[in-house]
């Protein structure tokens, strides 16, 4: 058991290294293969423990940066690790169960279906939903490997990686058996596990072939010249009234410099203004004067008061919003998107009147109201989809914008509270997949970085850097060109069909496992009824 635990522990460590900031994506395959090998021949309970151990290494390592967030404590990190690691535990339990009931080859075949089903559940379970650290996101720096997301989304890439890892595990196990001269088991592997290896090899060939073909198709569309303003405002000063004038002065200077580059649109990051642009006349006048002086449309993020207050509310609620300001239309903010997917415990406290969060010293930094519409902003003749902060990690959310007619996705974000850590890189990696899935350019405008332009094939074309090649906590302007297209990817039309198929497949595997794979449910019922009669 200690050897198996070592495999699971090492697998979790390798998975951490596969993701940003380390970016050793090639470690994903041996990591999962090690996990599969650790589960071979184990009981259901031990399978859960081994998977859980792998998760207890992976998730705390992946999210190490969150410990520096104000109000976040190590007890919270432990709870986070326990919850998310349980998904790996369930995978281990399911794989061990299927191996004991149906055999090793069947468990390998079931592995990608089971993994994707659990990833989808983790990504969509109420306020605990977090599609972060999905296995399919690891190779984001290799465009040829990720083009399949245009067909099957990021979950489809996860499926392929797990299938290929299962094939690798089958090969390793066969080598171990041959070394031990277990010829009968080698023969068993040839009959069953070899098919998994062949399928894994074919999936690699097909994925790379499709990637090369898609990358060979020129990206075409109308051009939008865009200037991204990265002001690098420290989190400790953003909401301090003493620095309000200084912040506006910084944005004024950067915006005038950006306007000199003759863009079609100037973009500020999330919550750029030191107060609500609709609730503070001084801030609004300053922003409008800048737009009027430059005569360039301005897209900016600002947290401000919600106009409509629900009955029974004694206090005004906040919204985290994006505004598109057209200087020729006069001093009016008539185009606005309110953030739909709020950050739990940061922008609201989930079920605060029901769940006893105070028992574990959990509170919310603010209390915002969510938006209700996926509003596409008009910049004639163009249509812009704007997301705020972590919204870009949710595949279906971005897909909704594109289905509503968005020709480009612009992500306004502020990640200053995370410091110089892997968090901005992990968020950027997720944006790469939103570009490939939807066939549109994705543009990130960040307060402290990373501000970049990603094309519709997931290639990071431009990134704001200083002379020292740093892209975090620097100030500057990124001028670039986005090609605006009406996307027609299969993923846009079908959505997350791979998880749906995977869930159905898992149910079939589990039903077969319950009946040992030897009898149908109906024959099992008939046998039980005959026993009762006798």
Instruction: Indicate which residues carry an active-site annotation.
Output: 270, 339, 389
| Lookup: tokens for 96 | 């061990």
Distance from C-alpha of 229 to C-alpha of 360, rounded to nearest angstrom: 39
Distance from C-alpha of 273 to C-alpha of 252, rounded to nearest angstrom: 11
- C-alpha dist (Å) from residue 247 to 82, 230, 479: 40, 12, 21
Q: Please report where in the chains the tokens 């559940």 appear, as a residue.
A: 121
Burial bucket for residue 26 (CB in 10 Å: 0-12, 13-18, 19+): middle
CB atoms within 10 A of CB 236: 11
Q: Kindly write down the DSSP assignment for every residue of 211-223, as one continuous string.
A: HHHHHTSPP--EE
Q: Kindly write down the DSSP assignment for every residue of 286-319, as one continuous string.
A: HHHHHHHHHTS-EEEEEEEE-S---TT--SPPEE
Residue 478 DSSP SS3: strand
Check: CB of residue 296 under 8 Å from CB of residue 266: yes
* R_g of the chain computed on alpha carbons: 26
Q: What are phi and psi of 69, to 5 degrees?
A: -75, 140
Check: CB of residue 110 under 8 Å from CB of residue 509: yes
């Amino acid at each position: 058991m200690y050897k198996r635990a070592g495999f699971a522990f090492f697998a979790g460590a390798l998975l951490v290294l596969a993701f940003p900031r380390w970016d050793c994506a090639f470690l994903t395959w041996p990591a999962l293969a090690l996990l599969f090998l650790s589960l071979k021949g184990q009981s259901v309970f031990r399978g859960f423990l081994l998977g859980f151990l792998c998760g207890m290494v992976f998730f705390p390592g992946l999210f190490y940066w969150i410990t520096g967030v104000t109000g976040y404590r190590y007890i919270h990190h432990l709870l986070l690790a326990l919850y998310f690691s349980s998904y790996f535990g369930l995978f281990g339990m399911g794989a061990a169960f299927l191996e004991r009931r149906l055999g090793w080859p069947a468990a390998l075949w079931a592995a990608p279906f089971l993994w994707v089903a659990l990833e989808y559940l983790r990504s969509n379970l109420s306020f605990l939903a977090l599609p972060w650290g999905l296995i399919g996101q690891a190779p984001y720096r290799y465009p040829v490997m990720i083009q399949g997301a245009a067909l099957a989304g990021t979950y489809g890439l996860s499926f392929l990686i797990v299938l290929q890892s299962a094939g690798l595990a089958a090969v390793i196990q066969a080598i171990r058996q041959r070394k031990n001269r277990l010829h009968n088991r080698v023969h068993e592997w040839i009959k069953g596990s070899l098919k998994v290896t062949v399928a894994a090899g074919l999936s690699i060939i097909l994925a790379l072939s499709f990637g090369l073909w898609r990358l060979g198709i020129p990206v075409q569309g109308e051009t939008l010249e865009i200037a991204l303003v990265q002001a690098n405002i420290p989190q400790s000063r953003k909401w301090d009234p003493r620095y309000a004038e200084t912040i506006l002065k910084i944005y004024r200077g950067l915006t005038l410099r950006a306007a000199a580059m003759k863009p079609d649109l100037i973009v500020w990051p999330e919550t750029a203004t030191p107060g609500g642009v609709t609730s503070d006349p001084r801030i609004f006048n300053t922003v409008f004067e800048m737009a009027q002086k430059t005569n360039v449309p301005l897209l900016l993020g600002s947290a401000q008061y919600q106009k409509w207050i629900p009955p029974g509310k004694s206090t005004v609620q906040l919204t985290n919003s994006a505004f598109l300001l057209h200087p020729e239309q006069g001093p009016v903010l008539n185009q606005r998107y309110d953030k739909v997917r709020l950050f739990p415990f940061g922008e609201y406290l989930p079920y605060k009147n029901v769940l006893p969060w105070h028992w574990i010293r959990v509170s919310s930094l603010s209390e915002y109201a969510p938006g209700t519409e996926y509003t596409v902003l008009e910049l004639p003749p163009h249509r812009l989809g704007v997301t705020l902060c972590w919204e870009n990690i949710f595949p279906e959310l971005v897909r909704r914008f594109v289905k509503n007619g968005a020709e480009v996705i612009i992500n306004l974000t502020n990640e200053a509270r995370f410091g110089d850590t892997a968090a901005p890189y992990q968020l950027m990696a997720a944006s790469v997949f939103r570009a490939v899935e939807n066939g549109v350019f994705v543009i990130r405008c960040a307060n402290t970085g990373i501000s970049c332009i990603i094309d519709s094939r997931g290639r990071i074309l431009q990134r704001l850097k200083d002379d020292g090649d740093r892209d975090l906590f620097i100030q500057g302007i990124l001028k670039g060109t986005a090609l605006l297209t009406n996307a027609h990817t299969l993923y846009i039309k079908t959505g997350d069909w791979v998880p749906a198929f995977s869930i159905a497949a898992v149910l079939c595997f589990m039903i077969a496992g319950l009946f040992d794979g030897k009898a149908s449910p109906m024959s099992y019922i008939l046998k039980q009824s005959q026993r009762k009669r006798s």
